[in-house]
Amino acid sequence: MEAIAQITTERAQQYLRQLCRHFAHKVPAACDEHQGQVQFASGRCALSADEQTLHLYLQADDPAALEQLKEIVGRHLLRFAFREPLTLNWQAPSEEHPGAASC
């Protein structure tokens, strides 16, 4: 099971680092300026960032785990982005938005 989200923000790289550093306190996580990975017990999150967009790719073994990851990652991102209104819209990967390839 997979889900992707693309968030338009000028703080994409900042949020990538914040998410990875925050999750690294509890689960394996690593990142640089443009990419990151977080390994949860129920799946993984790959992140990438450019100047205008934060790309999130979630992968889990079953629908319940995927929904849990969406909630966890989304809740934390929106908490970190309290200064700006972000739109978080999870979608299934498609040919136009392939998921892990963009992360």
Rounded Cα distance, 43 and 66, in Å:
7
**DSSP state letters, the chain:** -EEEEEEE-TTHHHHHHHHHHHHTTTS-EEE-SSEEEEEETTEEEEEEE-SSEEEEEEEESSHHHHHHHHHHHHHHHHHHTTTS------B---SSS-SGGG-
**Model confidence pTM above 0.85:** yes
Over the chain (103 residues), what is each successive 10-residue block's mean pLDDT?
96 97 97 96 97 96 97 96 92 67 47
Q: So what's the pLDDT on residue 96?
A: 54
Neighbours of 86 (CB within 10 A): 18
Structure confidence at residue 29 (pLDDT):
98
Question: What angle (nearest 5°) sits at the alpha carbon of residue 74, between those of residues 69 and 78?
Answer: 160
Q: What integer pLDDT is reported at residue 67 of this predicted model? A: 97
pLDDT at 101: 45
Angle between helices 12-23 and 63-80 (to 10 degrees): 120
